[in-house]
């Protein structure tokens, strides 16, 4: 008797679950809500506190800044499609039309400006070093002679090591900084190098706590811009949104919320930056 009642109920819920699944699968080109109303934003998926994917949840300062800016451009949060934008792929993703904007610890540089455009900057970080917690031999870039480093392909961090510290250092390149931290805790390299704000977020992960430390001696200025295709007409509107975010207190709130727990302190002489004039 019970089985007779239960079985149809189970079947019905299974059918509902299936229906739910298939309509989710269609969300990318859901014509009823108008695919033209959505926006594709490139972020990092593996940088805690900045751009981080956990299941269906995206968190971090870049994610929150992107959500604020998209809102000012007329896109509600549910119209944002988050796309992973690894360091080495960012220019190609913009010029190939895979994303409309990139918020991914993306430094504005003259080389990149040959291929893409930037709004912002909305943050200024500095290249730093992450070393083993008990390492006293590395206190800054002047101590890198004879050391093995890890950084990410296509980043300004890796490029600076090749340009300025090539003689005397070995550089291991990985697709992401999390892989570099794994190499560090496994003893395969002596230091990971990239922006201090990224290293702070990785060092604060429970799995890495007590094992690694940020040296805290930054040796570059990394101006985080909003990457847009070269022909984009969004630069002015993005800059207006960034300035509003700073003026209304949201910028500070989002920074505290996302990187406060890591103990990271933004350089107050450089932050918050003024967006530069659009080209």
Q: Which of the ranges 2-10, 194-202, 231-239, 261-269 carries the binding residues for ligand GLU, by CB under 6 A?
A: 194-202
Q: Which of the ranges 15-23, 150-158, 181-189, 252-260 carries the binding residues for ligand GLU, by CB under 6 A?
A: 150-158
- Going by DSSP bridges, is the β-strand pair 148-152/57-59 parallel, antiparallel, or unpaired? unpaired
Integer Cα distance of 151 and 88 in angstroms: 12
- x/- site string to ligand GLU, residues 58 to 87, per CB under 6 A? -----------------------------x
CB of 123 to ligand GLU, least distance (A): 10
Q: Is residue 52 a contact point for ligand GLU (CB under 6 A)?
A: no
Residue count, binding to ligand GLU (CB under 6 A): 13
Integer Cα distance of 8 and 266 in angstroms: 59
Q: Which of the ranges 30-38, 148-156, 211-219, 269-277 carries the binding residues for ligand GLU, by CB under 6 A?
A: 148-156
Q: Using CB under 6 A, which of 138, 152, 191, 203 touches ligand GLU?
A: 152
Buried b (16+ CB within 10 A) or exposed e, 83-112: bbbbbebbbebbeeeebbbbbbbbbbeeeb
Number of Cβ within 10 Å of residue 185's Cβ equals 16
Q: Which residues contact 189 (CB under 8 A, 6 or more apart)?
A: 148, 149, 150, 172, 180, 183
Q: Which of the ranges 17-25, 61-69, 193-201, 208-216 carries the binding residues for ligand GLU, by CB under 6 A?
A: 193-201
Is residue 39 classed as helix, strand or coil in its secondary structure? strand
* Residues that bind ligand GLU in the complex, under the rule CB under 6 A: 87, 104-107, 152, 155-157, 194-195, 198, 222
């Amino acid at each position: 008797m019970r089985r007779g009642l239960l079985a149809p109920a189970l079947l019905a819920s299974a059918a509902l679950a299936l229906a739910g699944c298939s309509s989710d699968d269609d969300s990318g080109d859901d014509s009823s809500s108008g695919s033209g109303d959505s926006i594709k934003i490139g972020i990092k998926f593996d940088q805690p506190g900045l751009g981080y994917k956990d299941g269906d949840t995206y968190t971090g300062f870049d994610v929150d800044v992107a959500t604020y800016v998209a809102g000012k451009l007329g896109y509600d949060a549910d119209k944002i499609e988050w796309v992973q934008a690894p360091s080495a792929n960012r220019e190609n993703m913009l010029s190939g039309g895979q994303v409309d904007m990139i918020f991914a610890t993306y430094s504005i540089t003259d080389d990149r400006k040959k291929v893409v455009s930037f709004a912002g900057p909305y943050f200024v970080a500095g290249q730093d070093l992450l070393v083993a917690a008990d390492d006293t031999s590395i206190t800054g870039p002047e101590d890198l002679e004879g050391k093995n480093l890890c950084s990410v392909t296509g980043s300004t961090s890796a490029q600076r090591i090749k340009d300025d510290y090539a003689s005397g250092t070995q550089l291991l390149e990985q697709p992401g900084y999390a892989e570099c931290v794994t190499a560090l805790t496994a003893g395969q390299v002596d230091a990971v190098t990239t922006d201090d704000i990224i290293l702070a977020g990785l060092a604060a992960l429970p799995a890495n706590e007590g094992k690694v430390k940020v040296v805290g001696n930054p040796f570059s200025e990394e101006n985080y811009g909003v990457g847009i295709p070269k022909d984009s007409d969004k630069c002015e509107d993005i800059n207006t949104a960034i300035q509003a975010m700073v003026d209304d207190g949201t910028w500070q709130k989002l920074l505290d919320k996302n990187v406060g727990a890591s103990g990271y302190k933004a350089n107050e002489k450089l932050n918050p930056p003024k967006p530069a004039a659009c080209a």
